[in-house]
Copies of this chain bind each other. A is one copy, B any other.
Amino acid sequence: MPVISKKGFAMPESPIRKLVPYAEAAEAAGNQVIYLNIGQPDIKTPDVALDAIKNIDREVIEYSHSAGYESYRRGLADYYNKHNIPVSFKDILVTNGGSEAIMFAMMTCFNAEDEVIVPEPFYANYNGFALEAQVILRPITTYIEDSYALPPIEEFRKLIGPRTRGIMICNPGNPTGYLYTDEELETLRELVIEHDLFLFADEVYREFCYDGAKHRSILTLEGLEEHSVVVDSVSKRYSMCGARVGAVISRNKSVMNTALKFAQARLSPPTLGQIASEAALQTPQSYFDEVAAEYVDRRNTLVKGLNAIEGVQCPMPGGAFYAMAKLPVDSSDKFCQWMLEHFTHKNATVMMAPGEGFYASKGLGKQEVRIAYVLEKPLLELAVEVLSEALKVYPGRTEITERQQAEA
């Protein structure tokens, strides 16, 4: 019997999905599972997008151009231009979701064993993509105590060696919700020019910036026209994760010509998803305003609730719809599994993503969890209550609570 590849063995399991069997068992036992482990929002897809699908007027669902429909690429360019991001449709290649955009960008820009610096915690699937493209991710640790702000530039310089070819950020960040400041982006700009690196930015959460903050794309950083590669997606923006429509965006012509060769090999991004995505460009601003207001409300509910639990720490995220929280537990991996296997409160339990999967440095993230605030406020309130009760009785608790002290 032939054996599978080394790459296949090494490929990480999704840390976000690996607890699924325990959640299924909890549901089968009649409990309510509150799913805060995955970034699948409950927000409605805009009507303009759904209507475009319902009114589809085609007899053949054909391939599109390998780079995506030109009309959609032109519409996307208009969208960016409206947000003062200077790109033309020729700088845009449409992909099978942000995932394929990351793969194309990595394969286009990096050789086997090239090193890319990534602030950790980072989106866990970067590990899988890096393995597929044989790129080495060099983590630069950010800390919950600093709300996951970038470390000083000196820390970056320590990591830059002869094989360093790029820096990759996610802004606003998954899993931290951290929104980069202009100063931080300028720091990155300086480093990138100094060492002639590629700067990748995963900007799929660009519409999710709160408290009046404005998102700044790396495509607006002067002098980085040849260095910047942006990954985008309609998944979160229009709550249509299943459309599988993303994009690679760069003004570097070699990058775009090369990415197109990878795109040609797989023929075409999804036609139906593109039809929905092109229509979604007509989504009114009121949709985004309502969604942002809803997420701010959810975020505030969650973060306030979490910080009110003794021993729990949760910085206020500036964007996206995730929060990282530090819990008084021996291992968030064990704790998350224990919650699903052994704990209910009001017949409910909570599913969260253990923190370790978001770090490349071994041993980090052991007390952290990522919580996606993608459900309605009453469910988030219940989730906080369940978590609070669970921490009172979890056997692996690391700090003594007042109640436990009183009982002792």
Q: Residues of A with Cβ closer than 8 Å to B?
A: 1-9, 11-14, 17, 40-45, 49-50, 53-56, 58-64, 66, 96-97, 99-100, 103, 107-111, 114, 125, 128-129, 132, 165-166, 196-198, 226-227, 239-244, 252, 254-255, 258, 261-262, 264-273, 276
Known A-B contacts A5-B108, A61-B49, A273-B272; the reply to A99 vs B267 at CB < 8 A is yes
Q: How many copies of this protein are present in the complex?
A: 2
Contacts of A242 in B (CB 8 A): 61-64, 268, 270-272
Known A-B contacts A56-B54, A99-B266, A270-B270; the reply to A11 vs B258 at CB < 8 A is yes
Known A-B contacts A108-B4, A271-B242; the reply to A97 vs B132 at CB < 8 A is no
- Pair B271/A8 contact, Cβ less than 8 Å: no
The residue in chain B whose Cβ has the minimal distance to the Cβ of A264 is B14
Main SS class of interface, A: loop
Given contacts A5-B109, A242-B271, 9 further A-B contacts (CB under 8 A): A2-B196, A3-B254, A7-B111, A14-B261, A42-B60, A53-B53, A96-B266, A125-B264, A128-B265
Contacts of A59 in B (CB 8 A): 44-45, 50
Chain B nearest Cβ from A78, distance in angstroms: 22
Chain B nearest Cβ from A214, distance in angstroms: 27
For the complex, what is the distance from the CA of A391 to the CA of B56, rounded to whole Å? 43
- Pair A66/B17 contact, Cβ less than 8 Å: yes
Contacts of A64 in B (CB 8 A): 242
Which of B6, B44, B108, B258 makes the CB contact (< 8 A) with A60? B44
Contacts of A273 in B (CB 8 A): 270, 272-273
Chain B nearest Cβ from A300, distance in angstroms: 23
- Pair B226/A270 contact, Cβ less than 8 Å: no
Interface centre among A49, A53, A108, A266 (most CB of B within 10 A): A266
Give 10 CB contacts A-B under 8 Å.
Answer: A8-B108, A8-B109, A8-B258, A45-B58, A45-B61, A54-B54, A61-B242, A63-B242, A64-B242, A270-B270
